[in-house]
Amino acid sequence: MHAFFLLSAFLALFFSWDSVAQEMGGGFPTPQPIQGMRHMEITQPAEKEVEKAESPVVAEGEKSTEQGADSEDFPKIEKRAPLPLEKTLVKLEELKEWSHLSDVAVSQTPEDVKKIVMLIEENPGEVPPQGLFLAAKALADQKKMEEAALYFFAAQLRMMFDVSRWPPRATKEELEAILKESKKTSDQKTPSANSAPQVKNPHAFLSELGRQIGSPIIKWTIANPDRLDKILADVKAWDESAPYLYLPGYDVGEATPFEQWEKSLPKVREVYFRRMGDVSKGLRTVKTP
């Protein structure tokens, strides 16, 4: 069992922006200054909510629909035809805010969760990673683990792509201060001044959100390598059939040029599914007591 906890932690830390950038051959641009970045914090959930999120996951071999939302009238996530790249991406000015983030954040009942799934599946391209993460938590709370895993891992993938579109950057003020300091003579320089900019990741809070809600979903998914493979196939099909029409829903700063998006999406997809495939292979070699 210890091995599964290690793999769970590994998956939670798996997709940091810097490691992905390195694997993509430095495909993310050099950090540049941004303006208007707001610091965002995650409010810690109440004690009861934490207990709810940490409720026992469905044991291997059990159906994920035995509790919670009724499987008979639960909306199905239909398979759709894959989209060509030119229909997957739209330019920055055409991206849309998803208006249901607050709805999914407060979803608690089976009926709430059904409505959220219907909203997502009506226009999957408009749902940002934050919405998918929150939907995954709501589904997991209702023991709809297969659907929760689909949205959770799709959210990870979309978040990776968003990091490439709105990359971590140094603030304009810090860069100006470093430039000013560099022009000083050795006796004028401030001893404590930074010589290199501190890169700030606007997506850090979202990565933390994924860590907070992901543990029961990841544990359920990796309990069976065949299950993980099926989930990954479903995520791949879902992602390839849904356009990227959304705005992230938080301050991300200046975007990279659209031409770079067209180059980075195939790379992000390749890196993501290759890494997850490696996890699946690793699971098959893990021996548990």
pLDDT digits (tens, 9 = 90+) for 197-225: 566 788 888 989 999 999 999 999 999 99
pLDDT of residue 232: 98
| Separation CA 118–CA 182 (nearest Å) | 56
Instruction: Judge whether 104 lies within some domain.
Output: yes
Domain carrying residue 139:
2-29+68-181+195-285
Instruction: Judge whether 41 lies within some domain.
Output: no
Instruction: Judge whether 43 lies within some domain.
Output: no
Instruction: Judge whether 240 lies within some domain.
Output: yes
pTM of the model: 0.74
pLDDT of residue 205: 87
Report yes or no: 167 and 28 within 8 Å, Cβ to Cβ: yes
Instruction: Judge whether 54 lies within some domain.
Output: no
Structure-block tokens of residue 279: 């996890």
Instruction: Judge whether 34 lies within some domain.
Output: no
Burial class (CB in 10 A: 0-12, 13-18, 19+), 211: middle
- The sign one gets for the Cα dihedral 260, 269, 30, 207 is positive
Question: Token pair 């610091």 is at which residue?
Answer: 39
Structure-block tokens of residue 265: 């999406």
pLDDT of residue 188: 57
Report yes or no: 126 and 246 within 8 Å, Cβ to Cβ: yes
Q: What would the pLDDT profile of 67-83 be if each residue is shown by its tens digit?
A: 455 666 788 898 999 99
Instruction: Judge whether 37 lies within some domain.
Output: no
pLDDT of residue 97: 96
Number of structural domains (the chain) is 1
Q: How many CB atoms lie within 10 A of CB 186?
A: 5
- In the chain, which stretches have pLDDT less than 70? 1-72, 170-199, 287-289
Instruction: Judge whether 61 lies within some domain.
Output: no
| Separation CA 1–CA 289 (nearest Å) | 7
